[in-house]
Amino acid sequence: MKKKYLPKGFRAGGVSAGIKKSGKPDLAIFYSDCGAKAACLFTLNKIKAAPLKLNKAHLKSGRLFRAIIVNSGNANCLTGRAGLKDARTTAVYAAKALRISPVSVLVNSTGVIGKRLAVDKIKKAVPLLVKKLSESGLGMAQKAILTTDTFAKSASAKFFIGNKAVSICGVAKGAGMISPDMATMLVFILTDANITQAALNSVLKACVAGTFNCITVDGCMSTNDSVMVLANGMAENSLIRSGAGLNKFRSALYSVCLGLARMVVRDGEGATKFIEITVDKAVNAKQAKKAALAVANSSLFKTAMYGENPNFGRIAAAIGASGVDVNEEGLKIKVSPLADKEIKVYCSLNKGRGKATVYTSDLTPEYVKINAEYN
């Protein structure tokens, strides 16, 4: 398998710490050789896992960041003050091994909710993990962040600012509990771009709005969802603030985010179909997205897609129940062949110029089996 290389100044690695009973890789680090600006977006779920609380505190420090440590197999959520202590301890262990400040470490966890994190196992594994850090260590890091995923997810882009090549590389995990604001996923994006903090924040927010916040597998929002970008400036391009440089960066970041978002849907738990739903001619874009998500989250629609049942009244019913401005006379629905693995649904409301596209998967007996047994 061809090795995947990271943007300048980044290294990654993954090991098995024994958090997962299977013995599969479950601990990863993404590391920057120099301080990097960080932009992060987190789930809107009112119940948030301990690592998210810690990360928000670290971000308020205004410091540059050096590392992201991630464990899978345990979400460290609904664990109270002990869980927050465990998240802090994880940052301390990583910082000690890397010889950096704990405040420059972002911590992430994913897996089962409601159980204490085995920080003793992390303590033992971190020294080996740091030794394994490599410019070509992305593959192992990808494997270590997975839970019910069936494949590792990565996307990259490269562009030029003047004569300086700028790279962006992103990895993600996510397959179930996928819903906008955000999905049950962890996304880590690394770039060597030299960019202002304000520009990085605004571009990430815009890109997530049109990608990760436009996917749904089951309409369920989790507690650990995070999208993180580290930008270490080692491409040495002229500082990106606005104008053509910012447009190039935005386009590249959007392509990485969309690629990862689509992979998450393709890997939806038990999914056999990838479904793209476009609602056009709504009153505005907000109503178009609301209608599209109503269809995408409809269990009746999703099971019909699995059964290849052309009962498109389920689409009309979902749009009508969404609360958007629509009537029977103006509604037009087109659906590509249901026997295909990729299905496109187009709905015109004939009410205005608003348009939105969302992505979802079908709902299958395998999804029920996976989640009935997940613990």
Fold type of domain 274-373: Ubiquitin-like (UB roll) (3.10.20)
| 59-63: long-range pairs with CB below 8 Å, 24+ | 61/103, 63/35, 63/101, 63/103, 63/104
Please say if the pLDDT value at position 218 is more than 90: no
Please say if the pLDDT value at position 296 is more than 70: yes
- Nearest CA to 279 out of 353, 225, 173 is that of 353
More confident residue, 113 or 189: 189
Please say if the pLDDT value at position 356 is more than 60: yes
- Measured between alpha carbons, how far is 264 from 68 in angstroms, rounded to an integer? 21
- Nearest CA to 176 out of 188, 184, 186 is that of 184
The encoded tokens of residue 233 equal: 């400036």
Q: What is the pLDDT of residue 4?
A: 62
Q: What is the pLDDT of residue 1?
A: 40
Q: What is the pLDDT of residue 221?
A: 65
Angle at 188 between CA 131 and CA 207, to 5 degrees: 160
- Nearest CA to 344 out of 311, 304, 313, 305 is that of 305
Q: What is the pLDDT of residue 375?
A: 59
Architecture of domain 10-266: 4-Layer Sandwich (3.60)
* Residue 222: pLDDT band with limits 50, 70, 90: low
Please say if the pLDDT value at position 277 is more than 70: yes
Q: What is the pLDDT of residue 219?
A: 61
The encoded tokens of residue 312 equal: 């498109």
Please say if the pLDDT value at position 243 is more than 70: yes
Has this prediction a pTM greater than 0.85? yes
Mean pLDDT of 293-321: 95
Q: Domain residues of the chain, as ranges?
A: 10-266, 274-373
Q: Would you call 361 helix, strand, or coil by DSSP?
A: strand
**Residues with catalytic roles:** 184
Mean pLDDT of 289-308: 95
Mean pLDDT of 63-81: 96
- Nearest CA to 186 out of 139, 154, 138, 150 is that of 154
Please say if the pLDDT value at position 183 is more than 50: no
- Measured between alpha carbons, how far is 287 from 193 in angstroms, rounded to an integer? 35
Place of tokens 């110029």: 353
Q: What is the pLDDT of residue 368?
A: 79
pLDDT for 1-20, tens place per residue? 455 679 999 999 999 999 99
Pairing of strands 164-173, 186-191: antiparallel
| Side chain identity at residue 288, one-letter code | A
> For residue 141, what is the enclosing H or E element?
helix 138-144
Mean pLDDT of the chain: 93
